[in-house]
Amino acid sequence: MSGIERVKCLIIGSGPAGYTAAIYAARANMSPVLYQGLQPGGQLTTTNEVENFPGYPSGITGPEMMIELQKQAERFNTDVRSGWVSKVDFTGPVHKVWVDETTEIHADTIIISTGASAKYLGLESEQHYLKIGGGVSACAVCDGFFYRGQETVIVGAGDSACEEAHYLSKLCTKVTMLVRRDEFRASKIMANRVKNTENIEILYNTETEEVLGDGNGVTGVKVKNNVTGETKEIPATGFFVAIGHKPNTDIFKGWLDMDETGYIINKPGSSKTNIDGVFVSGDAADHVYRQAITAAGTGCMAALDAERYLAAKEG
């Protein structure tokens, strides 16, 4: 067991939210320590092209953007470390955190930017094309643009699936929506919106058997009707999964207020949680927008809130 380390500002997570928080905290002389977590760079590291982040007129890949953000944070002396936070204790005024179950850190302020993970079906073919960036995505708003004038398939039955299908319908010639049961989980208004969109075809009682491709990219989807057992192939160049996200917040359960899915609840108009000195940013709290730019914005808010909290304590 190594000794206890005391830090002014501890940032947990390393996506756009964590790195932006680090940039602001470092420039405010808070000497932040940032732990990158299990997926350094977060969800963006699974995104090939980022074309909607302001300031990159030619676009940039997700991994490259994360490297640049890390360099920018380190330029102002952020201590970026690999490792994941395995346990926390927020009982007292000093916030205790354990990293990799060994290092104990006592932090005056903590910024949580652990993000969320998209849920996937877990099919081998799906994971193959996801890893090579060949046509599988969990974000239509991020990636739909690349499928203009093409045919796509989307899996899901909730509000966000309907929203993403409708978004894709404006770009794609045809969108096939796969709904596992015989009805939508979505609200009536959202379900009706897709039902009334001409180029969206809805297949009920339908599950994905396999994502088909030529090795480099998706060419279609093999589906099965779970009532009749009938299978068929749907031609498509894009396969979108909209079956939800899981926020990476399990270690904070019992300490921080969360909604039923596990998203941390922040006080409206701020990044404050129910524990003084603990702030949240990015997709760990945001299930609505889930964009790199909004995550970065809340990372900035969290650093400013942490700085004001420290100033009030010291003052």
Domains and CATH numbers, the chain: 4-117+245-314 (3.50.50.60), 120-241 (3.50.50.60)
| Residue keyed to tokens 């010639």 | 173
Residues 91, 79 contacting (CB under 8 angstroms): no
pLDDT digits (tens, 9 = 90+) for 261-295: 999 999 999 999 999 999 999 999 999 888 999 99
Interatomic CA distance for residues 69 and 24, integer angstroms: 12
In this predicted structure, what is the pLDDT of residue 40?
A: 86
In this predicted structure, what is the pLDDT of residue 170?
A: 97
Mean of pLDDT values over 226-230 = 97
In this predicted structure, what is the pLDDT of residue 45?
A: 81
Q: What's the whole-model pTM score?
A: 0.85
pLDDT digits (tens, 9 = 90+) for 199-216: 999 999 999 999 999 988
**For this structure, is 139 an active site residue?**
yes
**For this structure, is 142 an active site residue?**
yes
Q: How many residues does the chain have?
A: 315
Confidence of residue 1 (pLDDT cuts 50, 70, 90): very low
Interatomic CA distance for residues 251 and 254, integer angstroms: 9
DSSP assignment string, 235-250: E-SEEEE-S-EEES-G
* Cα→Cα distances 99→88, 259, 280, 289, Å: 9, 25, 18, 30
Q: Name the active-site residue from 79, 89, 108, 139.
A: 139
**For this structure, is 300 an active site residue?**
no
Is the pLDDT confidence value at 117 over 80?
yes
Residues 23, 29 contacting (CB under 8 angstroms): no
In this predicted structure, what is the pLDDT of residue 97?
A: 97
In this structure, which amino acid lies at residue 235? P
In this predicted structure, what is the pLDDT of residue 2?
A: 56
Is the pLDDT confidence value at 99 over 80?
yes
Interatomic CA distance for residues 90 and 215, integer angstroms: 49
Of 61, 73, 63, nearest to 33 (Cα)?
Answer: 73
Q: Name the active-site residue from 9, 108, 143, 162.
A: 143
* Cα→Cα distances 152→2, 139, 223, 237, 312, Å: 52, 13, 14, 6, 53
Is the pLDDT confidence value at 256 over 60?
yes
Reading the block at residue 135, the tokens are 């046509």
Average model confidence (pLDDT) across the chain: 94
Of 159, 111, 161, nearest to 266 (Cα)?
Answer: 111
Q: Name the active-site residue from 142, 162, 172, 305.
A: 142
CA dihedral 79, 82, 88, 92 (to 10 degrees): -10
In this predicted structure, what is the pLDDT of residue 50?
A: 86
Is the pLDDT confidence value at 22 over 60?
yes
Q: Per residue in 98-125, is it b (16+ CB within 10 Å) or e — as a string?
A: ebeeebbbebbbbbbbbbbbbeeeebeb
* Cα→Cα distances 291→16, 117, 212, 228, 284, Å: 9, 13, 28, 39, 12
More confident residue, 206 or 48: 206
Instruction: Work out the percent of the chain whose per-residue pLDDT is above 70.
Output: 99
